[in-house]
Chains A and B, each alone.
Chain A
């Protein structure tokens, strides 16, 4: 039998390259979230103990109450600021170290054992030591969190630095492209996928560690709140704050990370 191929029509935008997926997009994730809430609702119903296992309605109501009182936004904001500060430090230092180790043999050999040490150092140890040595202050908290994330960033960026296209570097050298321009147009675009990967896993990891840091040595932030709710076995409060933060992190993913990534990878075929 003859074999024939039928075109699916012309793509008008890049998204339109997968017309079948486009119709469904957005629908399946929504269904999946509804399913999650449904299961939660059922479990709460079965447990029949609103104190230990509050349902989604109770938790959402609690979230609204905390939001109205301003408490939620205060603690959310504090935690977010800590996340932002330690994230920035971890990304900047980690990227610089990763670049250096990926490009310079000596740096790689010098830094290798340090990396192994910090990769395997439990977060709790870093946090406790930072509080003991520096004191129960903001800088100790932020440093402890940044130190926990930095080695992962370094490992990821080092991979990217090793994969840099030497042909393009030679081109930039011959044409005497100045350093800043070279960084921006030649180097960083090759590293974006690695930076994006480090940023994404970084955000998820960092906010979890920030909560521990707050629980152990701060008097505000979501971690601190959760510690208090723990003392009262206030599960609704715990879930309300956790949910609020998940929403914010997902908002950052959808509102900032994904659009940024789409923009930076637009050139791909």
Chain B
């Protein structure tokens, strides 16, 4: 059985006030194998976050089905950090953890060291910079040892060295833990580096424009040249995507 089956017939948001009904997702069908990382990309507002929310079980108001194994632990990095500002970094992680005290403390310390926040453990989340808050949100998604990982543009607004480090970290984590992952991004290089597969969505009502396998090995994924050469092989697609991004919606 696939680790994740998405079979959405339609997703619309009802009319509210002067805003008309929005048909956001069209027919959207794909499966993700266990341990596979699927990158979802598409124009802004096409429904990527909506799709992740549906998969996470946060939005049942859609037509269709989502299937995953009975026991699925979800780690979700939302588009905004969503930390508890009134709790410390440590307590924000403790919120999502169960188990023995020392074990929890160890896991928190480990994951914070991995995202480079070992010295921010006792800081209130309200006092973090946005980049730090994003890293805590990533740490929170990993610390629960998820079997399904959802990431919604997790590296946006980080400085490039930090983003690059976190991308490599994610690549390692995905390689060692083989977590089934849906990864939303606008950054094509990031998509190629991290994805086993790229799914390009159209403007809403979103449907799959293209579903491409990225046949690169671990070494190639950290090589600029290999990524660049794969990008050129994608041909027109990224350009189409760019158009979708920049064209005014008609």
Question: Are these two chains actual partners, yes or no?
Answer: yes
- Give every chain A residue within 8 A of B76 (Cβ-Cβ): 171, 174-175
21 pairs from A and B in contact (CB 8 Å cutoff): A167-B78, A167-B80, A170-B53, A170-B82, A174-B57, A174-B58, A174-B74, A174-B76, A175-B75, A175-B76, A176-B73, A177-B95, A181-B95, A185-B87, A186-B84, A189-B84, A189-B87, A266-B124, A267-B87, A269-B126, A269-B127
A234-260 to B contact mask, C-beta < 8 Å, 1/0? 000000000000000000000000000
Q: Which residue of B is nearest A171, CB measured?
A: B82
Q: Is the CB of A189 within 8 A of B57?
A: no
- Give every chain A residue within 8 A of B82 (Cβ-Cβ): 167-168, 170-171
Cα distance, A174 to B146, chains bound together (Å): 11
Q: Using a CB-CB cutoff of 8 Å, which residues 192-239 of chain A contact chain B?
A: none
Interface residues in A, total, Cβ within 8 A: 20
- Number of residue pairs A-B, CB distance < 8 angstroms: 55
Cα distance, A152 to B140, chains bound together (Å): 39
A173 within 8 A of B: yes
Q: Is the CB of A268 within 8 A of B80?
A: no
Contact of B144 among A170, A173, A175, A269 (CB under 8 A): A175
Cα distance, A105 to B58, chains bound together (Å): 19
Q: Using a CB-CB cutoff of 8 Å, which residues 149-186 of chain A contact chain B?
A: 167-168, 170-178, 181, 185-186
Contact of A175 among B53, B95, B127 (CB under 8 A): B95
- Give every chain B residue within 8 A of A176 (Cβ-Cβ): 73, 96
Q: Is the CB of B96 within 8 A of A177?
A: yes
Q: Which residue of B is nearest A188, CB measured?
A: B86
Contact of A170 among B58, B86, B96, B127 (CB under 8 A): B58
Q: Is the CB of A267 within 8 A of B96?
A: no
B10 within 8 A of A: no
Cα distance, A174 to B95, chains bound together (Å): 12
B68-107 to A contact mask, C-beta < 8 Å, 1/0? 0000011110101010111100010001101000000000
Q: Which residue of B is nearest A185, CB measured?
A: B95
Name the prevailing secondary structure of the A interface residues: helix
- Give every chain A residue within 8 A of B73 (Cβ-Cβ): 176
- Give every chain B residue within 8 A of A268 (Cβ-Cβ): 126
B56 within 8 A of A: yes
Those 4 A-B pairs whose CB atoms lie nearest each other, nearest first: A175-B96, A267-B124, A267-B86, A189-B86
- Give every chain A residue within 8 A of B126 (Cβ-Cβ): 267-269
Cα distance, A211 to B104, chains bound together (Å): 52
Cα distance, A268 to B127, chains bound together (Å): 8
Cα distance, A186 to B86, chains bound together (Å): 9
Cα distance, A139 to B196, chains bound together (Å): 70
CB distance from B75 to the nearest CB of A (A): 8
CB distance from A67 to the nearest CB of B (A): 42
CB distance from B58 to the nearest CB of A (A): 5
- Give every chain B residue within 8 A of A172 (Cβ-Cβ): 95
CB distance from A185 to the nearest CB of B (A): 6
Cα distance, A189 to B74, chains bound together (Å): 25
